[in-house]
Chain A
Amino acid sequence: GQNIDQPTEMTATEGAIVQINCTYQTSGFNGLFWYQQHAGEAPTFLSYNVLDGLEEKGRFSSFLSRSKGYSYLLLKELQMKDSASYLCAVRDGITGGGNKLTFGTGTQLKVEL
């Protein structure tokens, strides 16, 4: 099975940088995804890592270390609209597992002035 841990809440200041960590323990691993979800809305895809290292996409970057079972999402130049829940999700690496994602419970980020 999969076990995914993320901090429950974080607070940061507009214009600053924030790092949201995710650790996972899996019986198989085939990629890690980050999604953003505003309250009552659909999750939206942010980033994907399958190999170790950093993936950069505008103000958002995501890092993966497979040996440590660790990922982080880095958000730069924070804006008020970035206040949302950030979900870490691991794809099952077991043969026949399809594209099943196991989600963490999410980190609720609050951006303040």
Chain B
Amino acid sequence: DSGVTQTPKHLITATGQRVTLRCSPRSGDLSVYWYQQSLDQGLQFLIQYYNGEERAKGNILERFSAQQFPDLHSELNLSSLELGDSALYFCASSLEDYNEQFFGPGTRLTVL
């Protein structure tokens, strides 16, 4: 158990819908990261927040957005969902902006 929590564990929804994934970092960690893992793409970096501010951005779609709240938990919002968005979404956290990242158990999103 890494200490990073993610909810929900599983999510099944329909195309065109919007969902919110939630992440609580390890106690004391300031940075939160979001990754997408699909069978054909591997683990892809989406976005990083550090102490509430956006720090780095990957190939995150415009339909996706994220934020980190004052209590340091983070949410990833996915809208206008498509079949291809079906994937495992991992949140990770690290103490500062440069340490090793610890991953949560993931949210498995299925878009039907």
A interacts with B? yes
Query: What is the size, in residues, of chain B's interface with A at 8 Å between Cβ atoms?
Result: 26
Q: Which residues of A contact B90 (CB under 8 A)?
A: 42-43
CA distance A106 to B44 in the complex (A): 12
The answer to whether A45 touches B56, judged by C-beta atoms less than 8 angstroms apart, is: no
CA distance A19 to B45 in the complex (A): 26
- A98 and B2 in contact, given A45-B100, A103-B42, A106-B42 (Cβ under 8 angstroms): no
The answer to whether A98 touches B101, judged by C-beta atoms less than 8 angstroms apart, is: no
- A98 and B102 in contact, given A104-B42, A106-B42 (Cβ under 8 angstroms): no
CA distance A97 to B55 in the complex (A): 8
The answer to whether A98 touches B50, judged by C-beta atoms less than 8 angstroms apart, is: yes
Any B CB within 8 A of the CB of A44: yes
- A99 and B94 in contact, given A33-B100, A92-B56 (Cβ under 8 angstroms): yes
The answer to whether A99 touches B33, judged by C-beta atoms less than 8 angstroms apart, is: yes
Any A CB within 8 A of the CB of B104: yes
Q: Which residues of A contact B44 (CB under 8 A)?
A: 103
Any A CB within 8 A of the CB of B82: no
Q: Which residues of B contact A100 (CB under 8 A)?
A: 45, 48, 56, 58
- A99 and B31 in contact, given A45-B100, A45-B102 (Cβ under 8 angstroms): yes
CA distance A77 to B45 in the complex (A): 33
20 contacts between A and B (CB under 8 A): A30-B98, A33-B100, A40-B88, A41-B105, A43-B43, A44-B103, A89-B43, A91-B98, A98-B56, A98-B97, A99-B48, A99-B55, A99-B94, A100-B56, A100-B58, A102-B45, A103-B42, A103-B45, A105-B42, A106-B43
